[in-house]
Amino acid sequence: MSRPRIEIAHVTKQYGDSKALDDLTLEVGAGELFCFLGPNGAGKTTTIQTVMGQKMVTSGDIRINGVSVTSSEIHRVRRTIGYLAEQPALYEHLTGREFLLFMAELYDLDVSRLRWIDVQLDRFELGDDADVLVKCYSLGMRKKIALLAALLHEPDILLLDEPTGALDAASARLAKDFMIEARNSGKLVFFTTHVMEIAERLADRIGIIHRGRLVAEGTLVDLCRRNGRGQGESLEDVFLRITGSGAVRSEHRPPGASDSLRLRRGHL
């Protein structure tokens, strides 16, 4: 496996007079779990979509494994990416199993990955519904199928937009386990989330984007040291201060509850 890398250099994405991304510069490398945080509309999804070629940059450049997104070679490079959209688009007139088999055929995968499909469908509690049409699936079920499709070809890079969104607790845990395993095997994992606990516990490095600009970046400890007002402050406290945002969703606690995680980082 090559050493995967994403380099975003002075990227601006403009719509008329409005900038969705504003001179964004960021690098993410192999063996790293990088979390992108930001308020709604800050530019997280736009960043991922420009990396994937779903949106073209107005200025600047993005290089994946050293290849510019403007190069004709980028299509080959993107085959090394596993991409999960926040709102996944699936073929609704296929069953969940048929969709995954279709993806396996596109990547010309061997029989071992076909067996993997059956194992993972059961692990994500989709075995009984694997032969039901996708159009009958809930958002959570669609998200599980889309996540498996992103993992199916064992990509070097994972781009995951809200990977635990709409998932039940057990499936969210499996998704996080896959992310950790990918990082530990030297792959690059770039993900977004609104859930502070996931960023605190999983991320090796965190970037905070606000109004299209990268306003803070570093490890959890670094961010709290540079931007906090005391040892007891959490990432949520720092995030709200930097962005001036309102309420931020919390995965396992009611609004207003105190944050027990503070500066420690472990694994879920």
| pLDDT tens digits for range 89-110 | 999 999 999 999 999 999 999 9
* Residue-number span of the structural domain to which 92 is assigned: 84-154
The tens place of each residue's pLDDT in the chain, 268 residues long, gives: 468 999 999 999 999 999 999 999 999 999 999 999 999 999 999 999 999 999 999 999 999 999 999 999 999 999 999 999 999 999 999 999 999 999 999 999 999 999 999 999 999 999 999 999 999 999 999 999 999 999 999 999 999 999 999 999 999 999 999 999 999 999 999 999 999 999 999 999 999 999 999 999 999 999 999 987 777 789 999 999 999 865 444 443 434 443 433 333 444 4
Residue 241 CB neighbour total at 10 angstroms: 14
Q: What is the DSSP letter of 127?
A: G
Instruction: Give, in order, the Cα–Cα distances in Å from 66 to each of 7, 61, 80, 191.
Output: 8, 11, 13, 20
**How many domains does one find in the chain?**
1
Residue 260 CB neighbour total at 10 angstroms: 10
Residue 118, in any domain of the structure: yes
Residue 215, in any domain of the structure: no
Residue 143, in any domain of the structure: yes
Tokens of 100: 């995954």
Residue 230: per-residue pLDDT? 73
Q: What angle do CA 231, 264, 203 make, to 5 degrees?
A: 120
Residue 246: per-residue pLDDT? 53
Tokens of 136: 């009958």
Residue 5, in any domain of the structure: no
Using an 8 Å Cβ cutoff, are 232 and 196 in contact? no
Q: Which helix (DSSP H) or strand (DSSP E) does residue 59 occupy?
A: strand 59-64
If you search the block for the tokens 């039940």, which residue do you land on? Answer: 168
Residue 232: per-residue pLDDT? 77
Residue 253, in any domain of the structure: no
Residue 177, in any domain of the structure: no
**How far is Cα 173 from Cα 88, in angstroms, rounded to an integer?**
19
- Rounded to the nearest angstrom, the gap between the alpha carbon of residue 267 and the centroid of all alpha carbons in its chain is 17
Residue 104, in any domain of the structure: yes
Residues in the chain: 268
Residue 4, in any domain of the structure: no
Beta-bridge partners for 83: 159
In this prediction the pTM is 0.89
